[in-house]
Amino acid sequence: MIGKTCHFTSESGTATVVGVTAQLALDDAGLRRLLHGLPPADQVGADARAARLGTRSIKTTAKAEALDLAVRMVDLTTLEGADTPGKVRALCAKGAHPEPNQPDCPSVAAICVYGDMVATAKAALAGTGIKVASVATAFPSGRAPLAVKLADTAAAVEAGADEIDMVIDRGAFLAGRYGAVAEEIAAVKQACRTGGHDAHLKVILETGELATYDNVKRASWLAMLSGADFIKTSTGKVSPAATLPVTLLMLESVRDFRAQTGRQVGVKPAGGIRTAKDAIKYLVTVNETAGPDWLSPDWFRFGASSLLNDLLLQRRKLATGVYSGPDYVTVD
């Protein structure tokens, strides 16, 4: 991937990238020229736009459809030091049949666990079609030598992970060593192909640590240029985690990236999305920003654990007409 050249054409929003129509090497200097040449992120505008999109009213049949879509997009996650095989198996069972007595309720997209739990999850999900996602590369801090990160990734892939959620080296990114970050992402992408597998690579930007919206935009482009299949907001271990304006910026980035390179990249907000109402706001934002092409579990995911319960409660409210309560869903 490194040393590969990118060619940008001249239409659409990110017009300044046009300046890089020349063949561009992904080294520090080239990346800096490219990333700092992106049009600046409009923070006030993004916040205002996100707030306005959050006021859209989605009701009745549209709401029912949105809830089911959101369930299908959930990466049901458990990333605790106290995870046990039993807990992972219980989570897999829940992901496969969120409402055991309602066959029309879809299953989630994936179960997201630590690398050592991949085999357990894979066995529990056999035959369900649900993916196993594993965090890797010294999650959540990303502070480990590259060799360790690659071994971490390769082990998860060997154990059967279909998707790898890696964290970028925020320290290197903030220090301006874009080449190092790009190289690492490309190397991990290579590790995803260990042993003839082809695991999807989600790159966690940890936007809560990137300080500015410009950095979020640059990190998004950097990850996409380096071969990410998905860009993900956060680990869920840092506050603030996913926010609507940041996700909006990332959606704009994947839209512009596809317009310029023809390659579609997915987006995954993670952390802090707890209510069905929030999830629907995100879906509205996806539709209005990136477009309906992204309204599918292949291109948009929610990294969440408690969100699923609220989605189920809202589904029941629509079905039965009475408010349900937390006593009637699993405690996980």
Partner 1 sequence: MSETKKADAKKTEPKKAEAKKTPKTGKASKAAPQEAVVTSPAPAPTPAPAAPRSSVRKTYKLYIGGAFPRSESGRSYVVTAPSGEFLANAAQASRKDARDAVRAARSAQAGWAKATAYNRGQILYRIAEMMEERRDQFAQQIASVEGVNVAAGYAQVDAAVDRWVWYAGWSDKLMQVLGSANPVAGPYWNISSPEPTGVVALLAPARPTLLGLTSVLAPAIVGGNAVVVVAPDAAAVPAVTLGEVMATSDLPGGVVNILTGAPAELAPWLASHLDVNALDLAGIEAGSTLARDLEVSAAENLKRVVRPAAGYDWSADPGLARVKPFLETKTVWHPVGI
Per CB under 8 A, 306 contacts partner 1: no
The site that binds partner 1 (CB under 8 A) totals a number of residues, namely: 8
Site string for partner 1, 263-302 (x = CB under 8 A): ----------------------------------------
Q: 188: which residues sit within 8 A by CB, 6+ positions away?
A: 136, 137, 149, 150, 153, 164, 166, 201
Q: Residue 203 pairs with which residues in a beta bridge?
A: 166, 231
Between CA 15 and CA 119 the distance in angstroms is 46
> Is residue 327 close enough to count as binding partner 1 by CB under 8 A?
yes
Which phi and psi angles does 305 have, rounded to 5°?
Answer: -120, -55
Amino acid sitting at position 319: A
Binding span for partner 1 by CB under 8 A among 58-66, 120-128, 223-231, 322-330: 322-330
Q: How many Å apart are CA 228 and CA 167, to the nearest integer?
A: 11
Kindly tell me which residue out of 44, 59, 101, 323 binds partner 1, with binding defined by CB under 8 A. Answer: 323
- Closest CA relative to residue 199, chosen from 236, 152, 165: 165
Active site residue 165: yes
Nearer to partner 1, 104 or 327 (CB): 327
**Residue 320 CB neighbour total at 10 angstroms:** 9
Q: Is there binding between residue 104 and partner 1 (CB under 8 A)?
A: no
User: Least distance to partner 1 from the beta carbon of 142, Å?
Assistant: 35
Given the residues 94, 131, 232, 281, the one annotated as active site: 232
Q: Which of 44, 147, 322, 331 binds partner 1 (CB under 8 A)?
A: 322
Q: How many CB atoms lie under 10 A from the CB of residue 290?
A: 25
* Residue of 152, 165, 229, 256 with catalytic role: 165
Catalytic residue among 268, 278, 281, 310: 268
- Residue 186 region by backbone torsions, left for phi larger than 0, else alpha for psi between -120 and 50, else beta: alpha
Closest to partner 1 by CB, 18 vs 313, is 313
Using CB under 8 A as the criterion, what x/- string covers residues 12-41 for binding partner 1? ------------------------------
Least distance in angstroms from the C-beta of 312 to partner 1 = 13
Q: Which helix (H) or strand (E) holds 142?
A: none
Binds partner 1 by CB under 8 A, chosen from 45, 198, 326, 332: 326
| Alpha-carbon torsion (69, 219, 130, 142), positive or negative | negative
Nearest by Cα to 276 from 124, 46, 65? 65
Query: Quick one: which of 52, 328, 330, 332 contacts partner 1 (CB under 8 A)?
Result: 328
63, 318 in Cβ contact below 8 A? yes
Q: Smallest distance from the beta carbon of 328 to partner 1, in angstroms? A: 6
Which range of residues in 110-118, 147-155, 200-208, 315-323 is near partner 1 by CB under 8 A? 315-323
Residues lying near partner 1 in the complex (CB under 8 A) are found at 321-328
**Residues annotated as catalytic (active site), given as ranges:** 165, 232, 268
